């Protein structure tokens, strides 16, 4: 294989080397896009849309429309206080959605995350309040319990061969009963609002320098990582991002980091809950995109048999994925317990499971497996929580809220199905 100008590669026939001069050079499409500059990216974006590769475009447009409608109905909707409340409330569901995304990437489902979150809140309340255990230890025990529960579900699914739907549906019932048993006859245990768990959703970094400093750190960190990665790729002779594109991407990131920082600092400051949620997103995104395990998860979502033949330990990956889902369900349960400053019998019930799955799917994760990112949890939960808060501000009844949220979820699933069909037609699936 020889290389021509501009990174083009030519196939050399080992039998007839002279044929190489008449061969059509193979050009890396990413390189062509970058050579064409802005016009190349516009054309590439149009090509992806025609091929059904919509990415996050529908949910971003949907979020803009939702915010515009509710701001028109109530001028307080996009106010600093309401946006801060939305940001804090969405962290519990968002944490749980991060875990469910790993399961959805396999093309499976976990119906137990709501009840597992309830068990987590019950464990931390009983240990910390009833038995006087240190809150940090109680939280660690609750999160470890979630991981253990998820591993158990994964074992029955991966090793025994029971359908994930049936296993986690059984888990939904079993762990709901376990939560009631742990809480006891009283049914409600109040938490110290000034304790570690209580401050998960009530603590704010009131110093404006913290919000702006973290935003600046994120922007500079992204620029440095992208710039040096581009230089490394350039030195290796593979396609890399031009400096102009890196600067443009960094500028867009600055808008989406300093904007929220300005809003938060106009109210009480940067919420601790938001910081923890963003850290979870960054960490899990790194795992999925930059590690062998992450690539194995995507591979299983594409084809289990092909992954097995490629040497991937399918059972290990499946069990680990369900353990991750259980872990984040437990973390979400701690945030819900913090939000209401208590652990009670209604924890994990109601529309929580629906909202978690809806957040992942609306954000762009495919129900059919193999496509999605943990950042989808952020977009999806912003849509769900924005709808809930907007309807609440207008005094819309809860049944109507359920109907509207369900309609949004259905529309997302339909778009996902149409996208997959379009991709198959275009030869991209």
pLDDT bucket at 346, cuts 50 / 70 / 90: confident
pTM of the model: 0.85
- Decide which of 62 and 108 is more confident: 108
Give every CB contact of residue 55 below 8 A, 6+ residues apart in sequence.
48, 364
Helices (H), 74-112: 80-105
Which range, 208-212, 367-371, 421-425, has the best average confidence (pLDDT)?
Answer: 208-212
Per-residue pLDDT averaged across 134-157, rounded?
96
Percent of the chain with pLDDT over 90: 54
- pLDDT attached to residue 404: 82
Q: Is pLDDT of 188 > 80?
A: yes
What 3-state class would DSSP assign to 342? strand
Per-residue pLDDT averaged across 66-95, rounded?
93
- pLDDT attached to residue 299: 92
How far is 211 from 262, CA to CA, in rounded Å?
A: 8
pLDDT bucket at 9, cuts 50 / 70 / 90: very low
Question: CA 9 → CA 1, 24, 34, 40, 234, distances in Å?
Answer: 7, 9, 17, 20, 16
State pLDDT tens for residues 286-317: 999 989 999 999 999 888 889 999 999 999 99
Contact indicator for 397, 391 with CB cutoff of 8 Å: no
């Amino acid at each position: 294989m020889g290389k021509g100008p501009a990174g083009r590669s030519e196939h050399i026939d080992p039998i007839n080397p002279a044929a190489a001069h008449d061969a059509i050079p193979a050009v890396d499409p990413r390189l062509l896009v970058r050579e064409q500059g802005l016009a190349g990216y516009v054309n590439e974006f149009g090509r992806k849309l025609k091929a059904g590769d919509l990415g996050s475009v529908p949910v971003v447009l949907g979020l803009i429309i939702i915010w515009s409608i509710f701001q028109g109905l109530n001028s307080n909707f996009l106010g600093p206080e309401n946006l801060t409340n939305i940001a804090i409330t969405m962290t519990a569901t968002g944490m749980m959605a991060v875990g469910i995304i790993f399961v959805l990437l396999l093309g499976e489902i976990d119906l137990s995350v709501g009840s597992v979150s309830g068990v987590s809140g019950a464990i931390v309340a009983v240990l910390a309040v009833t038995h006087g255990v240190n809150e940090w230890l109680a939280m660690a025990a609750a999160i470890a319990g979630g991981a253990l529960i998820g591993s158990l579900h994964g074992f029955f699914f991966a090793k025994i061969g029971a359908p994930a739907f049936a296993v986690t549906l059984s888990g939904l019932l079993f762990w709901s009963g376990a939560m009631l048993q742990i809480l006891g006859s009283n049914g409600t245990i109040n938490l110290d609002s000034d304790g570690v768990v209580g401050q998960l959703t009530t603590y704010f970094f009131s110093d404006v320098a913290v919000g702006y400093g973290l935003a600046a750190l994120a922007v500079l960190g992204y620029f440095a990582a992208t710039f040096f990665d581009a230089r490394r790729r350039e030195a290796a002779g593979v396609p890399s991002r031009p400096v102009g594109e890196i600067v443009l991407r960094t500028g867009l990131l600055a808008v989406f980091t300093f904007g929220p920082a300005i809003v938060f600092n106009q109210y009480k400051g940067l919420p601790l809950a938001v910081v923890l949620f963003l850290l979870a997103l960054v960490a899990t995104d790194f795992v999925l995109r930059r590690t062998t395990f992450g690539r194995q998860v995507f591979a299983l979502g594409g084809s289990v048999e092909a992954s097995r033949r490629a040497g991937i330990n399918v059972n290990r990956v499946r069990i680990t994925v369900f353990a991750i889902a259980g872990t984040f369900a437990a973390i979400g349960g701690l945030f819900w317990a913090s939000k209401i400053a208590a652990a009670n019998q209604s924890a994990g019930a109601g529309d929580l499971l629906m909202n978690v799955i809806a957040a992942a799917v609306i954000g762009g994760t495919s129900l059919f497996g193999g496509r999605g990112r943990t950042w989808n949890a952020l977009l999806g939960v912003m849509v769900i929580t924005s709808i809930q808060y907007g309807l609440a501000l207008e005094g819309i009844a809860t049944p109507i809220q359920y109907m509207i949220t369900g309609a949004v979820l259905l529309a997302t699933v339909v778009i996902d199905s149409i996208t997959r069909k379009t991709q198959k037609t275009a030869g991209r699936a």
